[in-house]
Amino acid sequence: MPRISRYKLQEDDRTGFKQFAIQLVKDGPWKVMPEEFDTTPPSRIPLGGEGDVAGESRLNSQFTLSPAVSTDTGPGLGNPTVAITAAGGITPVFTHPWMQITGDLAAITVTAVPNIVRGREGQILTLQCVDSSVTLNHGSANAINFMDSRSTLQLTSGMVITFVYGTGGQVWNEASRYRP
C-alpha cells in the first residue's frame, strides 16, 4: 500500500478547492473539507418550513398561524411633551421611560427651588429637551449635581440628560448627557 503524505494536496470533490489530505473528511463517497461535512440535525422531529431537513415537506395549509399581534402603541402611550415654567420647575413623571420637556416655545431658566421635585433613593429620571431650550441650575438648594460642577446647564433641542436621585444629599445626580 502506498504511503500518503499528510501534507499532500488533494482536491475537494465538491468544490474543487485544494486542501491538505489530512484535513479532508469522508462524507459518503466524497472527500470534503470539514466545514462542508453534512451532519444530520440533532432531532428527528420535523422542523417545518422551507428546506426542512428532518421530515416530509409540508403544504402551507399545514402550518398553524398565531393570531395577529398589534405593535401599535396607541394614543396616550407615547412620551408626552411637558411644557414647564420657570417658577414651576420640573415634576418627574415616571410612567414613561423618559420625559420630553420644553419651555413652551420660549427659552426658560428654571428658577424653582428645587429645579426638579425631589425623588426616592435610586430613582432614574431621563429628560429630553424638545423645541425650546431649558436652563437648569447646579447646587444643593436646586437639588441638582452636574458631572462637571458647572453652575448652569442649558438643555437645547434634542439633548438628553439622565439623573439618579440620591437621598444622602437629597439631589438629582447627573449620570449621563447626550448633545446631538
**Does residue 168 share a domain with residue 122?**
yes
Comparing CA positions, the residue from 160, 163, 129, 121 lying closest to residue 145 is 163
- What is the tens place of the pLDDT at every residue in 132-174? 899 999 988 889 999 987 899 999 999 999 999 998 889 999 9
The confidence score (pLDDT) of residue 4 equals 53
**Does residue 99 share a domain with residue 26?**
no
60 belongs to a structural domain: no
**Does residue 172 share a domain with residue 89?**
yes
Give how many domains the chain has, as a whole number: 2
Query: Can you list the residues of the chain whose pLDDT is less than 50?
Result: 1, 63, 70-73
Domain boundaries, position 22: 9-55
**Does residue 162 share a domain with residue 94?**
yes
DSSP state of 62: G
**Does residue 161 share a domain with residue 86?**
yes
**Does residue 94 share a domain with residue 131?**
yes
Would you call the peptide bond into 92 cis, given omega within 30 degrees of 0 as the criterion?
A: no
Comparing CA positions, the residue from 90, 105, 110 lying closest to residue 163 is 90
Q: What pTM was estimated for this model as a whole?
A: 0.57
137 belongs to a structural domain: yes
**Does residue 94 share a domain with residue 163?**
yes
74 belongs to a structural domain: no
The confidence score (pLDDT) of residue 132 equals 87
